[in-house]
Amino acid sequence: MEILKQFQARGASGVVRRTSFNGRTVDFWSPPQPTPYLIVTHDGQNIFDKATATHHRTWELAGTATKVAAEFDVPPPIIIAVFHSSNLTDPFGRGKDLAPQDVFKDGVLPVVNHAGIWPTLTPSFELSEMRGNKYLADISEEIVPTISKFIGHEISPEHTAMLGASMGGLASLNGVARYPDLYKTALALSPHWTTGREPLVKGLMKTLPHAGEHKLWMSRGTKSLDANYGPFQELANDFAISLGYKYGRDLAAPVFNHTSHNERSWASYVNQALRFWLSTLS
């Protein structure tokens, strides 16, 4: 881990440290007091820094998490924000990182071009180029342990969540599926089901752990891309219920009317996702 710089976290005390892990940028923030709580987020460029955020709009997650934690009288969580790898030489790096690799390799075909995955109905990269498994392995086996050691944080899986939106929502569900002993909660905002439609829903949801130790949040809005998610999210909800998840206990699937598929919308209700996560932990 190479520390590149540090800057202020809006709405929260302390600083964000920007680091590089073998060329992948990772920002992280920790509260001044010790905490058992940890959130790992995708699309880390949108979490803290307006200069790197899409349309210069961040989630302001440190400030929001600090406020929500105070409601439960617990310390705020550490936040690890992992950047995707799209760049000028690899413009589809985000899709390669975040798509659930094994589900697509199992025969699910990408059918929609949205959220930075493929620009046409024909993939602009081969399925063999997908690297979702390595992406999650790097996060779970290197990035999280290294930052935790640097901070002096003892990883507590029951207090650890993975959070993301759109393709990052899919990656969060996939993270819990692949690392159920590390991430006990998936906070998936606007999971981008339409990139694989019903086969993607079935292929991903069946890999999740049965209810008992985990919690699932899967939300959507009603405008732009989110307007198309309804039937697929209902199917995902049904799959979760078949695995033993129960609304009001360890499953939430709220619909936020008049919200869209962008950072402004997700930032407006991520506090509710955090409340769901902390509600049975405090």
Reported as a single tens digit per residue, the pLDDT across 85-140 is: 888 888 888 989 999 999 988 878 765 444 444 433 344 567 788 899 999 999 99
Q: Where are the alpha helices (DSSP H) in the chain?
A: 61-71, 93-98, 101-105, 132-138, 144-151, 167-178, 197-205, 230-242, 263-278
Q: What is the pTM of this model?
A: 0.94
**Structural domain of 94:** 2-278
pLDDT of residue 125: 67
Tell me the residue length of the chain: 282
Q: Percentage of the chain surpassing pLDDT 70? A: 94
Give the count of beta carbons closer than 10 Å to the beta carbon of residue 113.
17
Query: Concatenated DSSP letters for 235-268?
Result: HHHHHHHHTT--BTTTEE--EETT--SSHHHHHH
Residue 237: which CATH number? 3.40.50.1820
Q: Check pLDDT > 60 for residue 192.
A: yes
Mean pLDDT of 238-249: 97
Spatial neighbors of 123 by CB under 8 A, at least 6 apart, are: 110
Confidence of residue 11 (pLDDT cuts 50, 70, 90): confident
Burial-class residue 136 by CB neighbours within 10 Å (0-12, 13-18, 19+).
buried
Domain tally for the chain? 1
Cα 93 from Cα 86, distance rounded (Å): 4
- Residue 108's pLDDT is 80
Of 78-82, 123-127, 245-249, the range with the lowest mean pLDDT is 123-127
Q: Provide mean pLDDT across the span 253-266.
A: 95
pLDDT for position 209:
98
Most confident of 5-19, 53-67, 174-188: 174-188
